[in-house]
Amino acid sequence: MQAAPGAALSEPAADVPATRASRRYVLTLVAVAATVVLVDRVTKAIALDRLADGRVVVLVDPWFQLRLVFNPGAAFGFAGSYTIIISLVAIAVVTVIVRLAPRLRSVWWAVALGGILGGALGNLIDRITQDPGVFRGYVIDFLEWPGFPVFNLADAAIVGSVAIVFVLSLRNVPYDGRPLTDGERG
């Protein structure tokens, strides 16, 4: 296939439909996000069922235990009085990742953004479905290390995925597979 007159040979045209390879990255992102949401929802349901009576289950004394907490704030209990703003930020994060997904050309970026997407959706589901109301609902947290705020698997997915994004950024790995310019390499 020939490029249009004046078009660069090394870059795909913006209006070219998604290739099989680009679909692979989107599917990776979706699979990671769906797995995070599924595992998060299942573990939260178990926590609600088994810990609702105030019971604390010590798994590794004194390092790790399960304790049910209803968190109005962001990850790890921060910003408790900004629940609606946190909900809007989560919606913005989901929107940005969904819009960015078709341009992914890196499996590691797909995994990282899928983890962030899944974690954001997992906690957003709580904010929509839990008391005291839509976009004000408490997030279900249940994992506890001594001296550290109680958290859930969605929080862990977000933090772990942000760490991957940080490493990818430090290594100048582009999310879209394009070669970096000299200015972008630093």
User: Which active-site residues does the annotation give?
Assistant: 141, 155
Let me know if 35 is exposed, middle or buried by CB neighbors in 10 A (0-12, 13-18, 19+).
Answer: middle
Phi and psi at residue 108, to the nearest 5°: -70, -40
Distance, in Å, from the CA atom of 162 to the CA atom of 75, rounded to the nearest integer, reads: 13
Q: Which two tokens stand for residue 139?
A: 């997030």
Query: Taking the alpha carbons of 59, 75, 90, 96 in that order, is the dihedral positive or negative?
Result: negative
β-strand partners of 69: 141
Let me know if 152 is exposed, middle or buried by CB neighbors in 10 A (0-12, 13-18, 19+).
Answer: buried
